[in-house]
Amino acid sequence: MNFKYPVWHRLHKQTNKTVLISAADKSGLPAGSLVHIGKKHETACRISITQYNEDTLKQCEIKSISELQQLQDNKSIIWVNIDGLSDTSIVEHIGAELNIHPLVLEDILSTHQRPKLEEYEDYIYLVVKSISAQYNGNLDLRYEQISILLLANYVITFKEKADEIFKPVYYRMQNRKDRLRQSGSDYLAYVLLDTIVDEYFVVEDCLDDIIDPLEDSLLSNPTKEMLHTIQLLRRNLIAMKRSISPLRELLTTIQHANTALLHEKTLRYYGDVHDHVLRVTDSLDSYRERIASIQDIYLSSISNKLNETMKILTIFASIFIPLTFIAGIYGMNFEHMPELKWRWAYPALWIIFIAIGIGLLIYFRKKKWL
């Protein structure tokens, strides 16, 4: 966009004015300003085209959105996948080519969006969050915003970076008998949503691999590393819930949408995705309860361990209190203390010390304090 930033604006001195880190950097700009908000990935913008119907399948890459006009075919579905959002001109050209509202284009470039659905006359705009998990000693959850534009014969996906999340979709397209090849753009949008949601179950398996051993080893040997893991899991679960929960509302809205872009037979498949999301959210609630109970068990274990230590120290102190009392009496160095001149006073005192110690230990044992 040919917009000149005022001198007072923070973007005025920034070299790359189309890439921002925080939504706060965009304050003061007019609505519809096309600037990228989010983490800047090294992925160069790449536009891949998949054109298919029941009989044919073509895949290629284009350098300019203007080349889409040459591919238009009422008998085929065109899937445009864009990896990387650093080049805002691509998003702007798509908006001009397909008459997309400027506010939608702005939301596509703002990668801190909440999952949502917006219904327009000629298209539907979807925002979902993809989550992938890596575990190398610590759980590392990586989030990616995926925007989907659903049109009559087009599906356009916008991703922050190049990855293989849609690899199963490309694989299904190779099969001519697959329902995907025989259905419209609304079914393709369903398949993309279903692929994203299926990755949530992979993250669940990773959480199980971490939480189950944590519960098993918590009572026997609680450590500071466990507390760090517990806090990390709590933060990750909160972030996951924030990214996944809005999908329930989104999919409910789809099933009740009054638009010709969604066919009735396809809405049943969106209902299946809705059920998957409910399963995932229920599992997240279960994980949060488990983590809360694990934290309580950890604190109880540490408290019990401290109590055991204090009990041992108290027993030693209780044994040495009478011994210290006796040693203090005979350490006062008074002149008229007849015991000091006895020949067997010293060994007798040791016998008394040992007898008191053994007697107290027997007493503590009977009281089950040991």
CA distance 126 to 117: 5
Largest CA distance in the chain: 120
1, pLDDT greater than 50: no
96, pLDDT greater than 50: yes
Stronger pLDDT, 195 or 2, i.e. the higher one: 195
Q: Would you place residue 341 in the very low, low, confident or very high pLDDT band (cuts 50, 70, 90)? A: confident
- The mean per-residue pLDDT over the stretch 26-42 comes to 65
Stronger pLDDT, 27 or 78, i.e. the higher one: 78
Among 129, 90, 110, which Cα is nearest to 36's? 110
Q: What one-character DSSP code corresponds to residue 6?
A: P
Q: Would you place residue 89 in the very low, low, confident or very high pLDDT band (cuts 50, 70, 90)? A: confident
Point out the least confidently predicted range of 31-40, 48-57, 130-139.
Answer: 31-40
Burial code of 355-365, b = ≥16 C-beta within 10 A, e = fewer?
ebeeebeeebe
- The mean per-residue pLDDT over the stretch 90-98 comes to 87
Stronger pLDDT, 172 or 86, i.e. the higher one: 172
Q: How far apart are the first and last CA of the chain?
A: 78
Residues 241-280: pLDDT tens digits? 999 999 999 999 998 888 889 998 999 999 999 999 999 9
5, pLDDT greater than 60: no
Among 167, 9, 34, which Cα is nearest to 92's? 34
How many Cα atoms sit within 13 Å of 209 on the Cβ side?
13
335, pLDDT greater than 60: yes
Tell me the C-alpha to C-alpha distance, in Å, between residue 105 and each of 9, 76, 99, 187, 218.
Answer: 22, 25, 10, 23, 49
Q: CA-based angle 173:179:184, to the nearest 5?
A: 85
- The mean per-residue pLDDT over the stretch 223-240 comes to 87
- The mean per-residue pLDDT over the stretch 285-296 comes to 89
pLDDT at res. 2:
43
pTM here is 0.78
Q: Would you place residue 18 in the very low, low, confident or very high pLDDT band (cuts 50, 70, 90)? A: very low
51, pLDDT greater than 80: yes
215, pLDDT greater than 90: no
196, pLDDT greater than 90: yes
Q: Tell me if residue 72 falls in helix, strand or coil.
A: coil
Q: Please give the backbone phi and psi of residue 50, each rounded to the nearest 5 degrees, phi first.
A: -125, 115
| Domains by residue range for the chain, with CATH | 19-300 (3.30.460.20), 330-366 (no CATH)
User: For 219-263, where are the alpha helices, taking DSSP H only?
Assistant: 224-244, 246-255
Q: Give CB contacts under 8 A, 24+ apart, made by 338-343.
A: none
Mean of all residue pLDDT scores within the chain: 84
User: For the chain, where are the alpha helices, taking DSSP H only?
Assistant: 88-98, 102-109, 167-173, 179-182, 185-218, 224-244, 246-255, 264-329, 345-366
Tell me the C-alpha to C-alpha distance, in Å, between residue 49 and each of 14, 79, 99.
Answer: 34, 6, 19
Q: Would you place residue 298 in the very low, low, confident or very high pLDDT band (cuts 50, 70, 90)? A: confident
- The mean per-residue pLDDT over the stretch 11-15 comes to 54
Tokens (6 digits) for 145: 């915003």
Q: Would you place residue 97 in the very low, low, confident or very high pLDDT band (cuts 50, 70, 90)? A: confident
* Alpha-carbon radius of gyration of the chain: 34
Q: Please give the backbone phi and psi of residue 351, each rounded to the nearest 5 degrees, phi first.
A: -65, -40
What H or E segment, with its residue span, contains residue 50?
A: strand 46-52
Q: Please give the backbone phi and psi of residue 308, each rounded to the nearest 5 degrees, phi first.
A: -65, -40
